[in-house]
């Protein structure tokens, strides 16, 4: 492989939440050239002038257009996907196509052109815990199944009619395809299973720069910024481990740099110390919001339970718990997460307030009176 090719990375989905942070770090901290691909450059406008970035507004499903890009690169980092749970129960065909059918040809192209592939899967491939899947199970009598290990934990997904799992199934099958291409054709790969990364530039605020229902952090920020109710799906009893995007990018950079140690590996990237129920997440975010926006200090924020059927429609099931075992990546690359939940939340919320604070400014009492007088 030519030196030029080895020194060039194709970043598919570079305009998204993770992609934009990864792009920034690669440009700032390495000498790599980047061929960035996305349908939109809105979140990376600040980087478009950088000399070592060539951005293409392109659909990664257009393999004929993608192939020459891949053949100019030594490494492909594959992030492009539909990965928003509201879509899993509303447009499952798009979700299956985006996460398997139309991304599978890229795996073939990487294999045929001798490209290294770093592929972003998801913690959702683990599905539900044994305890969560056995109605009324007494956790004392069910083996510990919430600590999710890349090589030991079974993948436990819900029935076909629970369409929420179409994303996890598509991601799982693509993992199996990548593994098979490594096994039969010698494709060099690393598979990443992210656990709820959070940070600035995540998702969107409905009605401002996107439509539909974003992931939980943006949902809760939407409610805080607009002073509407935070809604807890099924009471917010399910749990997640949230990972600061800065910690996550550190891990991916190690995967990029430590090629041999990452070869043919699957790595969880997450922070087991940052587990919280969604209900407790809402409380923490309300407290932090009051701290970050003193004018909201006296405000009472409402929190209300909703059923998953009301919120997501038919076919939703949830992951009850997802605690990443991180021994594999610690042992191979020496990475351990460092940023606690409150600091990760603070950084993400500051990003939302910077981006949307003025756009969502509530018409305060005084200003409303002036408007009334002048109308
Ligand atoms: P995101 O939605 O912010 O970014 C995805 C990007 O891919 C978007 O910019 C989108 O425009 C682009 N994209 C989608 N389809 C495309 C196509 N056909 N052609 C070109 N571009 C396309 O999502 P994210 O949170 O940055 O996630 C990135 C990857 O990581 C996804 O594969 C996702 O499944 C995975 N992941 C993310 C998390 C997380 O915590 N954010 C957790 C688990 C897995
Ligand atoms: C997400 C998405 O599937 C993917 O981005 C990613 O693959 C996966 O995280 C991951 O980290 O691997 P999930 O965590 O279920 O999955 O998505 P969120 O929308 O962030 O929901 C988290 C929890 O909050 C769920 O229990 C959901 O029901 C709940 N929720 C969400 C609420 O209670 N209220 C809301 O307004 C939104």
The finding on whether 231 has its CB within 6 A of some atom of ligand 2 is yes
* 8 A C-beta contact, residue 268 and residue 195: yes
Q: Enumerate the H helices of 278-340 as residue ranges.
A: 278-292, 308-312, 327-333
Looking from the CA of residue 171, the nearest atom of ligand 2 is: 7
Atom of ligand 2 lying closest to residue 193 CA? 12
Q: What is the mean pLDDT of residues 77-105?
A: 98
The structure's pTM equals 0.96
Which pLDDT band, with edges at 50, 70 and 90, does 137 fall under? confident
Nearest CA to ligand 2 atom 37: 216
Instruction: Determine which one of 104, 126, 167, 189 is catalytic.
Output: 167
Q: How far is CA 206 from CA 66, 110, 263, in A?
A: 31, 36, 40
Residue 117 lies in a domain: yes
217 CA → ligand 2 middle, Å: 8
How many other CB atoms sit within 10 Å of the CB of residue 225?
A: 24
Other beta carbons less than 10 A from residue 141's beta carbon: 8
Distance 38 CA to ligand 1 centre (A): 10
Could you tell me the CA-to-CA distances from 3 to 7, 248, 252 in Å, in that order? Answer: 6, 28, 22
pLDDT at 361 (0 to 100)? 67
Residue nearest atom 44 of ligand 1, based on CA coordinates: 122
Position 102 pLDDT exceeds 50: yes
232 belongs to a structural domain = yes
pLDDT for the residue numbered 362: 58
Supply the pLDDT for residue 88.
Answer: 98
* Residue 33 belongs to a domain: no
* Tokens of residue 116, six digits: 């290294």
Q: Give the pLDDT score at 374.
A: 44
Q: Dump pLDDT digits (tens) for 11-43.
A: 999 999 999 999 999 999 999 999 999 999 999
Residue 265 backbone phi and psi in degrees, to 5 = -115, 155
Task: Record the tokens describing residue 310, joined without a space.
Answer: 């009301």
| Any domain includes 180 | yes
Whether 31 contacts 7, CB under 8 Å: yes
Active-site residue flag, 167: yes
Residue 370 is assigned to a structural domain of this protein: yes
- Of 124, 210, 228, the residue with max ligand 2 atoms within 8 A of its CB, to mutate for a pocket test, comes to 124
Instruction: Indicate the pLDDT class of residue 369, thresholds 50, 70 and 90.
Output: very low
Whether residue 137 lies inside any domain: the answer is yes
Whether residue 294 lies inside any domain: the answer is yes
Q: Which ligand 1 atom is at minimum distance from the Cα of 18?
A: 26
Residue 37 within a domain: no
Token output for 348: 């993400």
For residues 220-243, average pLDDT: 97
Task: State the Cα torsion 217-219-220-225 to the nearest 10°.
Answer: 120
- Among 134-148, 154-168, 172-186, which stretch is predicted with the lowest mean pLDDT? 134-148
Q: Which domain holds residue 183?
A: 81-374
pLDDT confidence band for 368 (50 / 70 / 90):
very low
Q: Give me the number of domains the chain comprises.
A: 1
Q: Tens digits of per-residue pLDDT, 302-350?
A: 999 999 999 999 999 999 999 999 999 999 999 999 999 999 999 999 9
> Which residue reads 């109710």 in tokens?
229
Dist. CA 287 → ligand 2 center (Å): 21
**Max CA distance (Å), the chain:** 75
What CATH number does residue 348 fall under?
A: 3.40.50.720
- pLDDT at residue 359, rounded to an integer: 86
């Amino acid at each position: 492989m030519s030196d030029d090719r080895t020194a060039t990375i194709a970043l598919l989905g570079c305009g998204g939440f993770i992609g934009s942070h990864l792009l920034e770090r690669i440009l700032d901290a390495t000498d790599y050239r980047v061929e960035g691909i996305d349908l939109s450059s809105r979140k990376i406008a600040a980087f478009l002038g950088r000399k070592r970035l060539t951005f293409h507004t392109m659909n990664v499903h257009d393999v004929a257009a993608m192939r020459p890009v891949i053949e100019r690169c030594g490494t492909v980092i594959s992030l492009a996907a539909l990965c928003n749970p509201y879509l899993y129960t509303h447009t499952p065909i798009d979700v299956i196509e985006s996460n398997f059918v139309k991304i599978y040809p890229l795996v073939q192209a990487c294999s045929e052109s001798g490209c290294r592939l770093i592929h972003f899967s998801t913690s959702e491939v683990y599905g539900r815990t044994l305890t969560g899947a056995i109605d009324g199970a007494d956790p004392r009598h069910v083996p510990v199944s919430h600590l999710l290990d890349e090589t030991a934990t079974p993948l436990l997904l819900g029935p076909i009619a629970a369409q929420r799992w179409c994303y996890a199934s598509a991601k799982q099958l693509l993992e199996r395809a990548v593994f098979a291409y490594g096994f039969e054709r010698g494709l060099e790969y690393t598979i990443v299973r992210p656990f709820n990364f959070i940070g600035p530039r995540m998702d969107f605020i409905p009605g401002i720069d996107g439509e539909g229902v974003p992931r939980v952090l943006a949902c809760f920020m939407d409610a805080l910024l607009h002073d509407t109710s935070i809604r807890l799906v099924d009471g917010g009893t399910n749990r997640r481990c949230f990972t600061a995007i800065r910690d996550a990018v550190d891990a991916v950079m190690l995967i990029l740099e430590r090629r041999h140690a990452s070869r043919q590996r699957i790595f969880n990237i997450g922070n087991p110390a940052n587990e919280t129920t969604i209900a407790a997440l809402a409380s923490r975010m309300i407290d932090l919001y009051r701290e970050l926006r003193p004018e909201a200090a006296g405000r009472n924020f409402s929190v209300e339970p909703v059923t998953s059927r009301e919120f997501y429609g038919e076919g939703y099931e949830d992951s009850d718990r997802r605690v990443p075992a991180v021994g594999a990546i610690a042992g191979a690359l020496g990475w351990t997460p460092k940023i606690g939940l409150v600091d990760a939340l603070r950084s993400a919320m500051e990003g939302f307030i910077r981006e949307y604070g003025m756009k969502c400014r509530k018409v305060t009492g005084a200003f409303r009176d002036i408007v009334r007088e002048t109308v």
